[in-house]
Amino acid sequence: MRSCLLVAVMAAALGSAQTYNSLWIPDAIAGSSFDLTLRKTTKQVRPGDPTVTYGYNDADFWGPTLIMTKGDFVQLNVKNELTEDTTTHWHGFHIPAEMDGGPHQTIEAGTVWSPSFEVKNNAGTYWYHPHLHESTAKQLTLGAGGFIIIQDEAEAALALPRSYGVDDIPIVLTSRRFLTNNQFDTNMTISPYGDFMLTNGILNAQVTLPAGQFVRLRLLNAEIERAYNLGFADGRKFYVIANDGGLLNAPVAVTRAKLYVGERLEILVDLTGDKPGAQLDLQAFNGGFSLGFPGGEPQQTGLFGSLLNNKTFNLLHIVVGEAAAGGAVTALREKLAENTYWTDKDVTNRRTIRVVDRGPGTPFTFDGNAYDMDRIDQIVELDAVEAWTIVNNRTFGHSFHIHDVQFKIVARSSGVVADYEQGWKDTVSIPNNESVTIIAKFDDFADDKHPFMYHCHFSNHEDEGMMGQFLVVEKAKSSAASEAKQAHKSAR
């Protein structure tokens, strides 16, 4: 599998010379004990020299999909076979800070890290990735990452496509720039944007999906910085059924949906009217945006340039295949879940976090403070329901992610919160000149030593310091902790 040659398929029906390569589907590992080994390898990404990559287990880019069940107690063993340190973060998981795999849980080269925790999140699409401060962009660019699918009884009871790799497809979207010898460019100083789209690590990816039914795509933006404005070339509607933290209350029909770095959308694609042999394209409609949309920059080369900037490009070519033998999902449900979201009435504390930049050439920060592993930026009381307003008066968009919690987006200063982002979220787009307010409850895991992170999920920004940390502490301890934080601050 690791040496497999690219399978080129001629798109005969289009009558064009466009060639496609078969979409790679990561292996799935189900259960309650998971072994991951991160190693350096190579991948024949395109003709010529193989590309040096990072992958977990047998993957020559990315890693296996971990399938977990809500309520299970899981054990993970992550072996670092690289010659550099790493960490492994379980993005979106509500777990103790010590198990979170943030910058503090270093896995030194040659060692194994073995966290264990109860899976408390709802069924949905989550992911794991390195989070070593100042190395996240590089390790992600080389390919380190993987999906986690959580299953639960509520989701299992619904008629939804869930045959992994057949009608339930994980799709990780990234782009890469190649140096002359086919190596991935990990230097973000010129541009964080790739020139070539990789879908599950494959250039010009194509997948065959069954005719006559709905198909689920689990879409993850694992870019360094680019956002996607998703849609189909034929303008067909698709149905958003889940956000970062699981099912929406009802499907939302759209023709476009934006997906910023770190965010996930589960969508249903309606192939009930498509015959075998039909073809369609999932695309990024990234043309026509102004400068603040990440990837909307007009330039193709040079500073912030990319061949994919500000245009429409293909993410996945879909060929409609034979219908499944039976049991396929042919109708769209009206209801999916009964989430009760936090509202303003529930809020027990509010805070504001400001995006700051001090002009061209200086890194973005929150509140003017570059990330410091030894500084606690926020202290949250256990069980607090907090409204965080992220204020971005600047000219560029960002992707804001909070560890530990799933939150509800309650307000955008630009107007309404899109229907397709009404569900539980752990990552939210913060467009330029916009303020966004989210509400979350910080329950279950108090720890006055180990912090959780909040950060821009553009990993170049994160590596440059656009990250802060918060402690969740028990009530009695919170005043003592904030005194300590004050003392710490004035000592600096």
Task: Give the binding site for ligand C2O (CB under 6 A).
Answer: 89, 91, 129, 131, 262, 401, 403, 453, 455, 457
Round to whole Å and give the CA distance between 458 and 140: 11
Round to whole Å and give the CA distance between 401 and 221: 13
Closer by beta carbon to ligand C2O, 401 or else 408: 401
Round to whole Å and give the CA distance between 262 and 488: 32
- Residue 70 interacts with, from ligand C2O, Cu ion, none (CB under 5-8 Å by kind): none
| Residue 91 in the binding site for Cu ion (CB under 5 A) | yes
Closer by beta carbon to ligand C2O, 379 or else 466: 466
CB of 128 to ligand C2O, least distance (A): 9
Closer by beta carbon to Cu ion, 94 or else 403: 403
- Residue 455 interacts with, from ligand C2O, Cu ion, none (CB under 5-8 Å by kind): ligand C2O
Q: Which two tokens stand for residue 396?
A: 């560029």
- Residue 461 interacts with, from ligand C2O, Cu ion, none (CB under 5-8 Å by kind): Cu ion
| Residue 442 in the binding site for Cu ion (CB under 5 A) | no
Round to whole Å and give the CA distance between 226 and 236: 24
Sheet containing strand 378-381, strands side by side: 378-381, 467-473, 447-456, 398-402, 427-430
CB of 71 to Cu ion, least distance (A): 21
Round to whole Å and give the CA distance between 50 and 59: 15
- Nearest residue to ligand C2O, using CB? 91
Binding window for Cu ion (CB under 5 A); candidates: 45-53, 248-256, 336-344, 401-409: 401-409
CB of 89 to Cu ion, least distance (A): 5
Instruction: Please give the angle made by the CA atoms of 239, 244 and 245, to the nearest 5 degrees.
Output: 105
CB of 130 to ligand C2O, least distance (A): 10
CB of 480 to ligand C2O, least distance (A): 27
Give the strand pairing for 205-210 and 19-22. Answer: parallel
CB of 374 to Cu ion, least distance (A): 21
Nearest to 114 by CA among 140, 88, 147: 88
Sheet containing strand 8-10, strands side by side: 8-10, 19-22, 205-210, 312-321, 279-285, 228-232, 257-259
- Residue 262 interacts with, from Cu ion, ligand C2O, none (CB under 5-8 Å by kind): ligand C2O
CB of 291 to Cu ion, least distance (A): 14
CB of 89 to ligand C2O, least distance (A): 5
- Residue 337 interacts with, from ligand C2O, Cu ion, none (CB under 5-8 Å by kind): none
Sheet containing strand 196-199, strands side by side: 202-203, 196-199, 168-176, 214-221, 264-270, 238-243, 246-254
- According to CB under 5 A, which one of 129, 176, 264, 398 is a site residue for Cu ion? 398
- Residue 398 interacts with, from Cu ion, ligand C2O, none (CB under 5-8 Å by kind): Cu ion
Round to whole Å and give the CA distance between 294 and 304: 10
Round to whole Å and give the CA distance between 302 and 459: 20
| E strand residue ranges, 60-191 | 65-69, 73-80, 89-91, 112-113, 116-118, 124-129, 146-151, 168-176
| Residue 436 in the binding site for Cu ion (CB under 5 A) | no
Round to whole Å and give the CA distance between 351 and 378: 9
- According to CB under 5 A, which one of 458, 463, 468, 471 is a site residue for Cu ion? 458
Closer by beta carbon to ligand C2O, 70 or else 264: 264
User: Which spans of this chain sit near Cu ion (rule: CB under 5 A)?
Assistant: 91, 398, 403, 456, 458, 461
